[in-house]
């Protein structure tokens, strides 16, 4: 009987449906976005030495970039819902083909919303800088501060902490700037200005982008 049981166990071990499934790498949620950017680059080969905006939906929805910065070769490489780590992972496909003189990154609020700590977001930013430096050593880099959106007012303290950390880190890195859009987007009581956002209270409206344009323009010269 014992021998029969051993034989049965050995046979069952080779039944395919009883074998554990091989671990599969998670699908890249940004695959379609990145492929679309590459298709654009293939259809119209990117010029070199321009300015690349990369980041989450605040960049993606900035559809007036070219009009807002006339005379400057700007490229929009925003993909909604992304974190800093996503921009770093795809930098070779988002940034490198353009060999830009300046890379502006907006990300961080999704990171905090998804559970990243201010310290982790700071480290993610430093990793982004390191990656861009590997790809385009001479490019300047600017971080657009995490914006204070009314929809995420519960994260204001974490946003302040993260912005301070990244500002300090940027000051120690060569060719890296921190652009404070956070403070001008607060009202006299220190609360997010609702007049700068669309109905979802998360994304910028035209007035919000006009404010960003005024604050960012000096860094593009």
The stretch 179-195 carries a mean pLDDT of: 97
**Overall domain count for the chain:** 1
Domain-embedded: residue 4 = no
Beta bridge partners of 59: none
What pLDDT was estimated at residue 27? 82
CATH number at residue 193: 3.40.50.1110
Cβ proximity of 81 and 110 under 8 Å? yes
C-alpha dihedral (146, 143, 111, 164), degrees to nearest 10: -60
Look at residue 138 and tell me if it is in a domain.
yes
Give residue 8's pLDDT. Answer: 46
Q: Which residues contact 61 (CB under 8 A, 6 or more apart)?
A: 78, 80, 203, 204
* pLDDT for res 11: 46
Its domain, for residue 191, covers 47-220
102 — pLDDT class (breaks 50, 70, 90): very high
Taking phi over 0 as left and psi of -120 to 50 as alpha, with beta for the rest, 190 belongs to left
- List, for residues 19-73, the tens digit of each pLDDT value: 444 455 568 898 999 999 999 999 998 889 999 999 999 999 999 999 999 999 9
Helix (H) or strand (E) holding 135: helix 118-135
């Amino acid at each position: 009987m014992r021998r029969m049981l051993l034989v049965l166990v050995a046979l069952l071990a080779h039944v395919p449906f009883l074998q554990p499934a091989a671990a599969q790498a998670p699908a890249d949620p940004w695959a379609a976005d990145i492929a679309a950017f590459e298709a654009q680059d293939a259809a119209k080969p990117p010029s070199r030495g321009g300015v690349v905006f990369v980041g989450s939906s605040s960049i993606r929805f900035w559809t007036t970039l070219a009009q807002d910065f006339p005379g400057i070769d700007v490229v929009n490489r925003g993909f909604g819902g992304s974190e800093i780590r996503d921009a770093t992972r795809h930098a070779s496909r988002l940034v490198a083909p353009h060999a830009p003189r300046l890379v502006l990154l907006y990300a961080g609020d999704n990171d905090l919303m998804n559970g990243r700590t201010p310290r982790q977001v700071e480290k993610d930013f430093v990793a982004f800088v390191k990656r861009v430096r590997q790809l385009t050593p001479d490019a300047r880099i600017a971080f657009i501060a995490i914006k204070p959106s009314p929809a995420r007012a519960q994260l204001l303290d974490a946003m302040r902490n993260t912005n301070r950390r990244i500002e300090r880190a940027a000051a120690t890195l060569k060719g890296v700037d921190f652009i404070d859009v956070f403070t001008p987007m607060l009202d006299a009581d220190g609360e997010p200005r609702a007049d700068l956002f669309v109905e979802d209270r998360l994304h910028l409206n035209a007035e919000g982008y006009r404010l960003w344009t005024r604050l960012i323009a000096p860094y593009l010269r």
